[in-house]
Structure formats: C-alpha cells, structure tokens
Amino acid sequence: MENVKIKSSNFVMQHAGKLRDYYRIGKMLGSGAFGEVRVCVHRESNNQRAVKVLRKSHMDEDEKRMFFNEINVLKDLDHPNILKMYEFFEDEKRYYIVTDICKGGELFDEIVKRGKFDEKDAGVLIKQVLSCINYCHVNNIVHRDLKPENILLETNKEFDQIKIIDFGTSLVVNEGQKLDEKLGTPYYIAPEVLAKSYGAKCDIWSIGVITFIILSGIPPFNGASDQEIMKKVKLGKFNFNDPAWKGISDMCKDFISKLLTLDQNKRPSAEEALKHQWLEAANLSGKASVSQDIAINSLQNLTNFNATSKLQQATYAFIASQLLSKQEKE
C-alpha cells in the first residue's frame, strides 16, 4: 500500500477565534457523557461537516490527554476509511473538533437494522478495516482499541462505506517496539496486551474477533464477567461449533483462525492478512465461493449481543453522569 502522509498544516488548523465565526451550527447528531456532535456548515465554502463539542468540566486529566493524543495522531493521517479532522477550536469552557460528517450508525446497529448480511458483505467490510489498519501500521501507529463501536457505516450505503474513529488510545511506535500498557475492551483485547508485552499485531487480533462476531453474532471468548472473558482470551481457545457457522466457508474460518493466532509472532500482519484468499473471494461478486446469507439465528445472536453491549454502555454512562453531577454540586 502506498505510504501517504498529509501534514497537519495541510488540513488541520487551530483557531484563536470563535467557532461561530467560521461555521453555522446545525442540528445535533448525537450526545454522550462529555459532550455532543452537531452538524456545522463552513461559512466560506458552504461545506457540511460535523463538530464534536466537549465540555472541559466533564473531562478528567486522563480524558484530556486522550483527547489531545487523538488530535496529534489524526492530524498526520489521510485515508478514506479514517474520519478526517479539519480544524480545532478552544474557548474557556469547551473544545471543538471539526471533522468529516458521518451520518451512519455503529457497525452492529447498521447490520441489525438492515436485517440481512452475508459473508461477502463481511469480506468487503473487513477488507476496509484491514486496509485502514495497514495504513496506520505502515505509518507506525497502533490503534489499540478496535471494536464495532469504533466502526461507523454510512446510512443506506453499501458495506464499502466505513469510517474508523476514536484514536484516543492509539500510539506512534518505533519498529519492533514493545508496549506494556494494559488497555482495551475485554471482548476484543489481545492476549499479549493482557501479558503487557505487545506491538501492532494486537490490532489484528481485534479484527479477528470483530469478524467472528459479525458472522456468528457471538464472541469467540465469552463469559459472565470481564475477568472470565479475559481468562479465556489468555487461553486463546475458540471453536466454530455454533449452528451459525454451518453456512460459513472454510476459507473464512481459516482467515479468522489465522487472525486469532495466540502467538503474536506467528500472527499475520495487516498486509499479509489482506492477501488471504477469503478476502480475494469476497471481491468476486455473485460467485459461489462465499456463502450468501447469514443464518437467521446469527442475526438474532448479533441482535442479542448488541443489546447487551448497549445496556452495559448505558449503565456506565449513567454512572459516569451521576459522578460528574455529584462533583459539580460539590
């Protein structure tokens, strides 16, 4: 893949002026514990973009560090599957990041909403994720928190329209450098991250988990608690015994198995994974080399798993908001 770097001076600007001097602010697209995302229109060019508004009072020092880390990483990246950042504003109470607008939903939400998803769709989607991560790795960046919540799909578009977001925990690393900070999301975290000695291939493991889940609707490493899940991740044992796998090709299972290789040194790189025959087969429109429809129970599995994940997120967000409200009162 061509190694293209766009310097921050080309498309990321930090302004001393007010956001409203440059943009007209529109409707809200979403909100969370720290702020909101709104539509904005550039006054000079009339281009529609999105602005992420973050309240400083709702962010602790670690969250502010992650925020500026994301800016520093994104300012040098330019890839069709990475949400592009244009400008940054700051005032006394808030931070503002202006990015490309992406009106689509999170990966699982969109799959469940469409009600139909086949192995070819999965191949097209995963190839983009790998292409994006290969670009990052070529540029010495490890994402470290790949999960479906960080993959957006454009609404009413094909599965070849994805954006990867949230580079807050990503790092610029030297070739061969080993990282030792334990972070990530239990279902998707690589075993070497838990062992606190890892490199870029932790992202490959996460992509293997994502592929497993979007095709079967269940995680390869599951448990009643985070501790139980991580214990199973360390063992690295999984299978394709669920009925959801009956219609899935052996090529696909081989692809997943290679990405979920326990030994990171034997796991393929993003560049190597992109050359796997399953992804080549996914490009052959209408060919029988990839099975066409995911089983009904797979979609039901995914619906249930997605609902459980959303409930956990909502619970964490509620707890966070209560703690923030308490702090503000004090």
Task: Provide the annotated active-site residues.
Answer: 145
| Number of CB atoms found within 10 A of residue 119's CB | 23
Tokens of 310: 């959303």
| Number of CB atoms found within 10 A of residue 193's CB | 23
Q: Please, which residues bridge with residue 23 across strands? A: 42
Give the N- to C-terminal CA distance of the chain in Å, as an integer: 53
Where would I find the beta strands (DSSP E) of the chain? Answer: 13-15, 23-31, 35-42, 48-55, 85-90, 94-99, 141-142, 151-153, 162-164, 171-172
Q: Is the CA virtual torsion 91, 95, 99, 102 positive or negative?
A: negative
Torsion angle defined by CA atoms of residues 232, 236, 242 and 245, in that order, rounded to the nearest 10 degrees = 150
- 100 by DSSP, 3-state: which? coil
How many Å apart are CA 199 and CA 174, to the nearest integer?
A: 10
Which H or E run contains 167?
none
- Residue 106 CA, distance from chain mean position: 9
Q: Please, which residues bridge with residue 151 across strands? A: 164
Contacts of 173 (CB under 8 A, 6+ apart): 140, 141, 142, 179, 199, 200
Residue 102: DSSP 8-state:
-
